[in-house]
Structure 1
Amino acid sequence: MQKVQYPRDFARKNAGSADDKLEIKGLLDSLKERDAEIKSWCEKATNEIKETGKVAGETKSALEKLSEEGIKANARILELEQKLARRGGGDDNVVKSIGEMMTESDDFKAFAQKGRGTARINLKAVSNITSATSGQGGVGVAIAPDRLAGVQGPALRQFVVRDLIMPGRTASNAIEYVQESGFTNSAAPVAEGAQKPQSDLSFELKTTTVKTIAHWFRASKQVLADVPLLQSYINGRAIYGLKYVEEAQLLSGDGTGQNILGLIPQATAFDDDRRVTGDTRIDTLRHAILQVRLAEYRATGIVLNPVDWEGIELQKDSTGQYIWVNVQDGGQQRMWKLPVVDTTAIAEGEFLVGAFDLAAQVFDREDAAVEVSTEDADNFTKNMVTIRAEERLAMAVYRPESFVHGTFAAA
């Protein structure tokens, strides 16, 4: 087998002028220095874009100049390599073409003398070039995937419960309100000169305290600077995390420790005596609306799990026609003149009906906000950043009997 040597690094392997080799080495060293300088100017340009929204003229000119110098240096290196390749360095180092190797082979010389026969040369087989990342011929590491901008986040819950409740604000850490706890109404028709009957009222002082919902993340300053929009994405997820817990607290918080006392734990239980054999979900909700009405309040909303709302929309009459919506156009989420909000924050099979805008109120002490700090000693020495999200709020339920909570009967 005849050995074939392919050109790789002419400045190192091929014989040539010592001066040309020195010049190539100098050019390579200058290119390394230029790369370091370009990196420095690029970092400066990035900071300028963050601060002013554009790259300064001085920075732009410097980068253009470095780019031009690099192009000239690369061209000069190529010229010197070609020069050294042409000069050669002895028979062992001369790179021969396949045609030259063929004409110099013994088989070809014999073929030329005899005028017949076959001439062959043996060459080392070259591996197939593939997208593999390892092995001969694998060039997969040179293939760069397209990276889409931003971060693809998961599906997010829509928060609907707070929108039903009357809003408010507070500047304190607690809310106090006086609630009527008893009323004896003795009012009656009275004859002239007769003794008038006495009625009685009793009151109770109620207190609800402001609760804090918070969490935090930690990230390096470098990653926040190097990954575009990462901090804003973290901030958005931080606020989402607060609102996610807030909705669960407003609906189902048990009031222990730092938990808010939610609507469901304070609601009046659905009166099962109102159920009638054959009741559907629609019938059950109408009974609950009546129960609120009999407590002298008018319901303003209904909260359901999406599974139960689907069950209502899929109900059909005896002919197989949908009774609730036109499937081509859908319909508004309303029932018995009331808005219906569906959320996975309430368990499947449960419902809550109530006078949300009259009998309950949410008080914001501090709106949900995100703060960033490097003041912690550990953060400062490790170039870390702490991102904290926090909100403070309280909820008062003035009339628990104006909310009715229950479960649908098993199908």
Structure 2
Amino acid sequence: MSGEPKTAEQLAAEVKAAHEKSVNAVKAIAEEALGKAKSGEELSAKIKETADEALLKMNELTGQMTELEQKMARRGENDPEERKSLGQRFVESEDVKSWMESSPTSGKADLRVKADLTTLTTDADGSVGDGGAPTRLPGVQELAQRRMTVRDLLSQGRMDGNTIEYVQETGFNNNAAPVAEGATKPQSDIKLDLKSSSAKVIAHWMKASRQALDDVSVLRSMIDQRLIYGLSFAEENQLLNGDGTGQNLSGLVPNATAYSEAFAPTAGTAIDTMRLAMLQAALAEYPATGHVMNPTDWARIELTKDADGRYIIGNPQGTISPTLWGLPVVATQAMAVDKFLTGAFKLGAQIFDRWDARVEAGFVDKDFINNMVTLLAEERLALAVYRPEAFIYGDLGFVA
């Protein structure tokens, strides 16, 4: 056959037309036979043979049309992938071509259709998508975690009781002077004050079923790690910003001395402010050992350029650790934007751990009979700020 391949609809129409023609032929033979019977004529053998052939052809076309319609319903409209239509396959079949070209009066042409195997998951022939298994990567992709840095700036210590007490020198009247022979020596005096800091508990918990802990191999270690991270996150904020009320630590920022520049530099910048904060700590006899600021502010300082567009702080391709005026810079989001803390961290304050951070498991209320486990993480610590004047806190001037 020549020309464009016929669609399934066109082929179905042709088969239907042939079927109707065959039906009409059978009707004509039947009417002829009925007329002869009424007139008393006997039917000839030729009429009987013609009638048998017409009925056989009509039945064959009826079966082919029904089969074609069923296959079209199954394969046509619900198949999203592009493939050769059933009609195209029918008219291109060599068996069908031979049968149609022979002007058949008997027999039939078969089209055996095999389903294409696809990754579909629909209820259709050849859909094998449900047989494929996904590739599951091991472990769990965890959330981002902040790097904790403030604890490392401070001196570390241990405590036995609930409270740390220390004596702080709050005044010194120095009257030392040259003295003549036989003259009365001048008297000096000091003032001492008793300070204290109590241990505070930082804690939180999660609940999990025993089945989940047993069936998901990484769950227990993931929960433990998350609980410990949560403690560190809260601890860093308390070490910097705790206001000392209730169960809050008395942090470094609330105890720090307000920034007050010794002089006003010409065309001052945030870099100048940090140098003058170091000067203020040095004049208080506590030379600074580091700076703390928000990552946004450190980025602003690193991007500062001179009049020729050259970076002032280092080389963008360099790998030097963050430093400013020879001191390390600790960038943490626990510090508010446009604020800084400069100071003698080792001399000015100390952490005292009463309970190291830990995770414990136990049953609470009906946990045992409900196959539930409570996982508790907690730590207990105190912060002693020995010398408030060792810490300088102020604004960088980026935000109006």
Map of 1:293 onto structure 2: 282
Contact 2:237 2:334 in 1 (8 A): yes
- Structure 1 runs not aligned, ≥5 long: 5-106
What CA distance in whole angstroms lies between the structure 2 residues aligned with 1:257 and 1:307?
A: 31
The one-letter amino acid of 2:211's match is Q
Equivalent-residue separation in structure 1 for 2:368 and 2:389 (angstroms): 54
C-alpha contact (below 8 Å) 2:262/2:276 kept by paired residues: no
Residue 194 of structure 1 aligns with an amino acid whose one-letter code is A
What SS class does the counterpart of residue 299 from structure 1 fall into? Answer: coil
1:314 shift after superposition = 1.4
Q: Which amino acid aligns with 1:160?
A: T
CA distance in 1, matches of 2:344, 2:361: 40
- Distance, in Å, in 1 between the alignment partners of 2:340 and 2:380 is 27
TM-score (norm 2): 0.70
Aligned residue in 1 for 2:227: 238
Q: Distance in 2 between matches of 1:334 and 1:400?
A: 23
* Partner of residue 147, structure 1: 136
Corresponding residue of 2:151: 162
Contact 2:294 2:333 in 1 (8 A): yes
Computed over aligned residues only, the root mean square deviation of the Cα atoms, in angstroms, reads 3.0
Instruction: Give how far 1:348 is off.
Output: 1.5
Task: Tell me if the contact between 1:176 and 1:206 (Cα under 8 Å) persists in the aligned partners.
Answer: yes
The whole-number CA distance in structure 1 between the counterparts of 2:265 and 2:108 is 102
The 5 Å alignment of 1:130-141 reads 130-136=118-124, 139-141=128-130
Worse-matched range after superposition: 238-247 or 276-285: 276-285
Instruction: Report which of the two structures shows the higher radius of gyration computed on alpha carbons.
Output: 2
Following the alignment from structure 1 to structure 2, what is the Cα–Cα distance between the partners of residues 160 and 112?
89
Alignment of 1:199-218 (within 5 A): 199-218=188-207
Partner Cα distance (2:103, 2:395) in 1: 104
Give, in whole Å, the separation in 2 of the partners of 1:308 and 1:360: 25
Q: Distance in 1 between matches of 2:152 and 2:128?
A: 57
8 Å CA contact retained: 2:303, 2:313 = yes
| CA distance in 2 between partners of 1:398 and 1:288 (Å) | 19
What one-letter code is carried by the residue in structure 1 that aligns with 2:350?
Answer: Q
Query: What runs of 5+ residues in structure 2 fail to find an aligned partner?
Result: 1-62, 68-95
Alpha-carbon spacing, 1:254–1:410, altered in 2? closer, same or farther (3 Å): same
Partner of 1:398: 386
Q: Aligned residues: percent identity?
A: 51
Query: Could you tell me which residue of structure 2 aligns to residue 385 of structure 1?
Result: 373
- The yes-or-no answer on 1:340 pairing with 2:329 is yes
Amino acid in the other structure paired with 2:140: V
CA distance in 1, matches of 2:280, 2:265: 15
8 Å CA contact 1:111, 1:117 repeated in 2? no
2:312 to 311, 315, 323: 323
Distance 2:210 2:165 in 1: 44
Q: Secondary structure of the equivalent of 1:309? A: helix
Over 3 Å counting, the alpha-carbon distance change for 1:262 and 1:118 in structure 2 is farther
Residue 311 of structure 1 aligns with which residue?
300
Select between 285-294 and 114-123 the one with higher mean Cα deviation.
114-123
TM-score, normalised to structure 1, is: 0.69
Residue 81 of structure 1 aligns with which residue? Answer: none
**Structure 1 pair 313–245 and aligned structure 2 pair: CA distance change class (3 A):** same
Instruction: Kindly provide the amino acid, as one letter, of the partner of residue 389 in structure 2.
Output: E
With over 3 angstroms needed to count, the CA separation of the structure-2 counterparts of 1:118 and 1:305, relative to structure 1, is: farther
- Letter aligned with residue 301 of structure 1: G
Give the AA of the match of 1:288: A
Q: Tell me, what secondary structure is at the counterpart of 2:369?
A: helix
Q: How many residues align?
A: 309
